[in-house]
Structure 1
């Protein structure tokens, strides 16, 4: 796999972690992870306050969850849109941040994008997450301006090479 990242069998937080396709039964947990994210506190809170990851979203897009193999605990997830290629969502549980879950998810995303024939994936980042995306090889290409009332702040735009 690319970047030395594995998508299954990695031991994180005391258990093996695997990446699996999210299912309709996961939507409540995915939604809770988005709404309770510490990265969206303070001025960022309104953006996720009413956000819902619905059944139709999970069925329509490539949504993958990082889960503990023994506990089935949701550690993080991402959503890849193929046309145009974009990372639509990526969240890691607050208590799992810094444990490598984000890197495992990015490695899996690269594999999925490669299999779909994509050369790169666009990322419109939450401003505090830009450093993470750059650390996994994304390069900044510009800025997406605020679009009130949904998004009240400018966001970094990046491109993640697949190969």
Structure 2
């Protein structure tokens, strides 16, 4: 396990978070159009519950964005070099704690298809499928739900 700390992202983190998304290896090949040109703005970070995992040197290892009003996990990414180290699991546990504090009973996730197994391993259940959103998203996406205790 990589030593890490989870803290609230601040608007100044927008460029680093955007760079993490755009460099993600899971969005190569047929999934590349989804993150091409993607931008997380300082305003987005200020408006939503965005939390980041950083190593002791402050290097960004991953992050998530919880949209409380929509009860939805909007974004969740782990840096390629941190995949398989438990960072994603820690971020999802943190997200569930934040959702519980916000009074949510469930959190929706529209998943990148290759990420579905990860979400299921950390407690989400599949509840359906979301249709493509052309022209950028040409594939169906799994819809999952975390039940919040």
**TM-score interval w.r.t. the shorter chain?**
over 0.9
Map of 1:112 onto structure 2: 98
Aligned counterpart for 1:80 among listed residues 66, 70, 74: 66
Cα offset, 1:161, TM superposition: 1.1
The alignment of Structure 1 onto Structure 2 pairs a total of residues equal to 149
SS in 1 for 2:63: strand
Map of 1:149 onto structure 2: 135
TM-score by length of 1: 0.90
Q: Which runs of 5+ in 1 are unaligned?
A: 1-11
**Structure 1 CA distance for aligned equivalents of residues 29 and 36 of structure 2:** 11
Q: Which runs of 5+ in 2 are unaligned?
A: none
CA-based RMSD: 0.7
Name the structure with the higher strand share. 1
Map of 2:112 onto structure 1: 126
TM-score by length of 2: 0.98
Aligned counterpart for 2:6 among listed residues 19, 30, 49: 19
Question: Which aligned segments of 4 or more residues in structure 1 are displaced greater than 6 angstroms?
Answer: none
Cα offset, 1:151, TM superposition: 1.1
Map of 1:3 onto structure 2: none
